[in-house]
Amino acid sequence: MEKEITIYDIARELSISPTTVSRGLNNHPAVNKSTKQKIFDAAAQMGYRSNAFASNLRKKRTNTIGVIVPLLNSNFQSSVMAGMEKVANEAGYNLIISQSLENAQKEIANARTMFESRVDGLLVSVAYDTENIDHFEPFFSKGIPLLFYDRVPEHKQCTSIVINNIQAAHKATTHLLEQGCQRIIHISGNHRINVYKDRLKGYKYALMDHNIASREDYIIETDLSEKAGEEAVQKILEMDPRPDGIFVANDNCAVSCIKALKQAGIAIPDDIAVVGFNNDPITRIIEPNLTSVNYPGYEMGEVAVRSLINYLDGVSDVSITNTITLNSELVVRESSQKKEKAKARLA
């Protein structure tokens, strides 16, 4: 194995001090241009590599940010990661990304690994079955900045980055009501998780605003998988009177519902209108195209990393701002446009 070239080797080669070599490599103004050039040339010829690890230890900074996501194979999380990577790379940081696979025990192990890896800060979207966040206490006690995004727990010592899920769900449900739907099913996720709890609230508030009482049998709590969509449709088809609208808390499950409804001979949106959530690419592939809430994942990733780096650079304090709320919008497509289709048939 070849010996690793050090600044001492370069110093001997050029007959100058190691301090001058170090300053030259770091572009210090005390070293003149010609000497700097000689140092750079010698370093390149000799195969010198800077020891970023040792340098970061001296600075007490690793220039790495940890990210724990529930699953990487979702369009939303992919968009978030893209936004995070852009801002992190521009600022000279690297991301260490791990996934909890929707499992709290895996999330605990990931948090321990991130802590032992000495990340400068941590970004987390909690797992489906996470019930407490005790495993993040080492970060709080050491003053390591921690931001939660999307799926966020309540904690006074960190910032959360979210959309207004109550408002978004209210818009989605109100849209169905304005299309003439009166019996609207809500297919939801785990109500212990903020996003699904808040979407349920928005659904109920919209019904309340239209003087419609919410029914417990119209709220179907699932894991929002494709299979869950199929099973939910079986329940819906057995209801009498049959529901005329469905608001689903994610797009994959909503698309599964549409496929199962069509197989059962149900016309969409004429018999049952459907609205999803996230605005994944699949919404433009399914027929009819799916109405959905556009969730700004890329922007969320950018804001999360920028907020963390601003804290690390002393520009802001993440513990001061408890919640950063991003805008969302309802993208209306054919799966929910009952009135327009009826008008078109009458024209």
What is the block-wise mean pLDDT of the chain (347 residues), using blocks of 10 residues?
Answer: 77 90 83 90 82 51 91 91 95 94 95 92 94 91 92 83 96 97 96 95 98 96 96 97 97 98 97 97 96 96 94 72 89 88 41
Whether a cis peptide bond, with omega within 30° of 0, leads into 269 is yes
Q: What is residue 334's DSSP assignment?
A: G
Q: What is the pTM of this model?
A: 0.79
Position of tokens 């890329």? 298
CA distances from 82 to 42, 68, 87, 102, 286 (A): 38, 14, 9, 21, 25
- Note the CATH number of domain 62-163+297-327: 3.40.50.2300
Find out whether 229 and 253 touch, Cβ atoms under 8 Å. Answer: yes
pLDDT for the residue 292: 98
CA torsion angle for 306, 312, 317, 321 (degrees, to 10)?
Answer: 30
254 by Cβ neighbours in 10 Å (0-12 / 13-18 / 19+) ranks as buried
* CATH of region 7-50, choose from 1.10.10.10, 3.30.2290.10, 1.20.1290.10, 1.10.260.40: 1.10.260.40
pLDDT for the residue 6: 86
| Cβ-proximal residues to 314 (8 Å cutoff; 6+ apart), any chain | none
d(CA 110, CA 101): 11
pLDDT for the residue 53: 46
* CATH of region 165-295+330-346, choose from 3.30.9.10, 3.40.50.2300, 1.10.3720.10, 3.40.47.10: 3.40.50.2300
Domain(s) of CATH 3.40.50.2300: residues in the chain: 62-163+297-327, 165-295+330-346
pLDDT for the residue 22: 84
Domain(s) of CATH 1.10.260.40: residues in the chain: 7-50
